[in-house]
Amino acid sequence: MQADDHDKVKEALDSVEAPVSASECHGMLAAQLSMQSANGAVECIRHIFDDIDSTSPSFMTALKAIEELVTTTQTDLNDPDISFQLLLPEQSNMADRLLALSEWCQGYLFGLGLAGVTDDDNHSADIKEMLQDFIQISHIDVEDTSESDESERDYIELVEFVRIGVLYLQEECNPLTQEQSTE
């Protein structure tokens, strides 16, 4: 994923007044793709564009941007070098970045729900705890957020925690096979 991908997806979604943010969209897609649900990303795309006029000039551009995001996300999730990254804004203030992380987790949890994964499933205690942590992050309060070196370090650690958690959940629920990693 490249640094400008967030802005590109945000612009595309904003152009059609989509009901989700770029980060939330990526979270939904990452969940669906990592769980390899039967409908995969199609259900997410349907949700994202549900009330959008498919004849609008911006629709095809937005759909193409999301399809490219699907391809990139699928590749990154299945990369044996673990290149998967969350789609988050890079050049924003701390409150906006934390809000985007919260939205990413909301989208991810929603995507897991669409894939049929619940915290009631027969998961390990680690996975249940991680899902609870994601729920907590999805409700993070961005009020009184400070711009400090400590806040920056905490944010980076939180993003890395979520990123590794996604890869861990994927591996536990849907192990990557050698065949998948070489496609």
Give the number of other CB atoms < 10 A from CB of residue 142. 15
What phi, psi does 129 have (nearest 5°)?
Answer: -65, -40
Give the number of other CB atoms < 10 A from CB of residue 157. 10
Task: Tell me: pLDDT of 180 over 50.
Answer: no
Contact between residue 66 and residue 33 where contact means Cβ atoms under 8 Å apart: no
Please state, in angstroms and as integers, the Cα–Cα distance from residue 181 to each residue in 21, 81, 170, 175, 178, following that order: 29, 10, 13, 11, 5
- List pLDDT tens digits, range 19-53: 999 999 999 999 999 887 656 778 888 888 888 88
pLDDT averaged over the chain?
A: 86
Q: What percent of the chain has pLDDT over 90?
A: 46
Alpha-carbon span 146 to 58, nearest angstrom: 37
Contact between residue 159 and residue 101 where contact means Cβ atoms under 8 Å apart: yes
CATH class of 5-181: mainly alpha
Q: Where are the alpha helices (DSSP H) in 36-124?
A: 41-48, 57-77, 94-114
- List pLDDT tens digits, range 54-86: 888 889 899 999 999 999 998 999 888 888 999
Q: Provide mean pLDDT across the span 94-121.
A: 88
Domain range annotation of the chain: 5-181
pLDDT confidence of residue 2 = 66
Q: Provide mean pLDDT across the span 124-151.
A: 86
